[in-house]
Structure formats: structure tokens, C-alpha cells
Amino acid sequence: MVRIGAHVDQDDPAAHAVEVGAEVVQFFLGDPQGYDKPVLPAKPVEGVDLYIHAPYLINVATTNNRIRIPSRKLLEQHLKAAASLGAKGLVVHGGHVNKSDDPQTGFDNWRKVFERMECPIPVLIENTAGGDNAMARKLERIARLWDALDGFDVGFCLDTCHAHAGGEELLDLVERVRAITGRIDLVHCNDSRDEFDSGADRHANLGQGRIDPELILAVCRAAGAPIIVETPAAGQADDIAFLRKNL
Ligand SMILES: [Zn+2]
């Protein structure tokens, strides 16, 4: 049985894990919308596996130097901090380039990250829901990203809400992703408040959104990777119980 858990507040991840019945937790090291240095949790995180989610603002793909350079620095800081906590991986979004940019520039920028950065633990690039010129919304782009990252040990985090809202069918998605990346390290198991290919990133508790729960379960089964629900906190215990019962 794979480990199942939740994205929780960083104030006391171990206590939140007990509250929702999680065997694995994910949390931010500080404000997810900020460029601040990582802040370690005040209380020790013991008894659970853990993953760290990098801030949303990180965009190492962009051609904008004033975003790309601080993004790289922040990614490296978070990776070191996550490793110091014993995390299994650092999740980061694929990012995007500007509308008029050639996406290849973004893939090349991603390659430069791994050419320059030591990775004490795996970086897990996550598929995203939105953006016209995103690096990791559609599988065709993820394939080009993985071509650019050939030779580097890079992991993948598959988010079911982002796939649905990003316009990728969940049916057989794991097989199609694996054909590209060779691996799925972590599943972000979320329902979506929005319709297929809407580009909106609004998570819902399982069975409360627009995705057929059977498809979500099928993705989790096929992936065989640890599962994190990033759903509204009040329903996380039910989401985890639903997965345990049905997987
Ligand atoms: Zn996610």
C-alpha cells in the first residue's frame, strides 16, 4: 500500500498529520507567494515521510532575468532546506515563458538549473493547470522539457486537478506520462472545481469537484507513488479515508 497524506500548515506538520490520518505530509517553508528565504518548521517533524513544496512564484523557465535569477536562488535555498529536514523531494511548478517567447528558451533555462545546482534530494517538477506558454501543462511540452533535461536525475509530480484543468485526460494518463518521464515520484490527488481544460487551478475535496472519482483512483493505482491531497483542510481526513478504502 502506498503512503497517503496531505499538504498541511508548516506550524506543526506532525500534529496535522495525526489530525487527518496522514502517513506523509507536504508543506511550504514560508510564504508560498513570497520570495523570502525558507523558514524551517518550529516543531520537529517526526513519524511521517515529508515533501516540501517550493513557493509558487518560482519560475526558472522565464526569459525575465529579474524573475529567473531570484527564482533559481530560491529554488536552491529551498532544496537545501528540504534536504536538511530529510524530505524525500522538493516539488516545484514547471513555470512558463512570456506569450511571445519561444518555449525552447524555457526548456533550455530549466537545463541550466540542473547544470549549475547540486541536488542532495530530487527536484520533482509538477504539471500545472494554467498558462498559454507553460512548460509543464500539456504532455507535448513535458516531453520537450524532459528532452532538455536528458541526463539529469529529475523527478515528476503528477497533479490530477492540474491535469484535468490543464486539458489532459486522466484516462491512461499515468502511462502517457511515464512514457515521457520514466517515473512518477509523487501524486497530488485533488479534485477540480473547474471544467476540463479551463486552465483554472482551484482544488476541491475528492468527489466534490468535476472529476470522476473513479478516474482519480485509477491514476493513483497506476502511479503507485506516495499520494498527497492538497484539498481544503476540513475535508482532508475524509479524502484520505476515501483513498485508503478504495485503493
Ligand atoms: Zn499540486
| 139-168 pLDDT, tens digit each | 999 999 999 999 999 999 999 999 999 999
| Distance between Cα 54 and ligand 1 center (Å) | 11
The CA distance from 131 to 98, in Å, is: 9
| Distance between Cα 166 and ligand 1 center (Å) | 12
Cell of 189: 490527488
Residue 173 covered by a domain: yes
Amino acid at 3: R
Residue 158: beta bridge partners? 187
Q: What is the CA radius of gyration of the chain?
A: 17
Residue 29 covered by a domain: yes
| Distance between Cα 111 and ligand 1 center (Å) | 22
Residue 247 covered by a domain: no
CATH number at residue 212: 3.20.20.150
Q: How many residues does the chain have?
A: 247
| Distance between Cα 53 and ligand 1 center (Å) | 9
| Distance between Cα 163 and ligand 1 center (Å) | 10
| Distance between Cα 213 and ligand 1 center (Å) | 17
Residue 161 covered by a domain: no
The CA distance from 97 to 114, in Å, is: 18
| Distance between Cα 228 and ligand 1 center (Å) | 8
Q: Which domain holds residue 203?
A: 4-155+168-231
pLDDT: which is higher, 1 or 234: 234
pLDDT in tens, 17-68: 999 999 999 999 999 998 889 999 988 899 999 999 999 999 999 999 999 9
Query: Is pLDDT of 208 > 90?
Result: yes
The percent of the chain in helix, strand and coil, each rounded to the nearest 5, is 40, 15, 45
Residue 160 covered by a domain: no
The CA distance from 155 to 126, in Å, is: 9
pTM score, two decimals?
Answer: 0.97
Residue 241 covered by a domain: no
| Distance between Cα 127 and ligand 1 center (Å) | 8
Task: Count Cβ atoms below 10 Å from residue 99 Cβ, excluding itself.
Answer: 8
Residue 125 covered by a domain: yes
Helices (H) and strands (E) in the chain, counts: 8, 10
Q: Determine contact, residues 154/200, Cβ cutoff 8 Å.
A: no
**Residue 121 CA to its chain's centroid (Å):** 15
Residue 189 covered by a domain: yes
Looking at every residue in the chain, the average pLDDT score rounds to 97
Exposure of 159 in the CB half-sphere (CA atoms within 13 A):
31
| Distance between Cα 206 and ligand 1 center (Å) | 14
The CA distance from 156 to 62, in Å, is: 20
| Distance between Cα 188 and ligand 1 center (Å) | 5
| Distance between Cα 126 and ligand 1 center (Å) | 7
Domain total for the chain?
1
| Distance between Cα 158 and ligand 1 center (Å) | 7
The CA distance from 135 to 155, in Å, is: 15
Cell of 235: 475535508
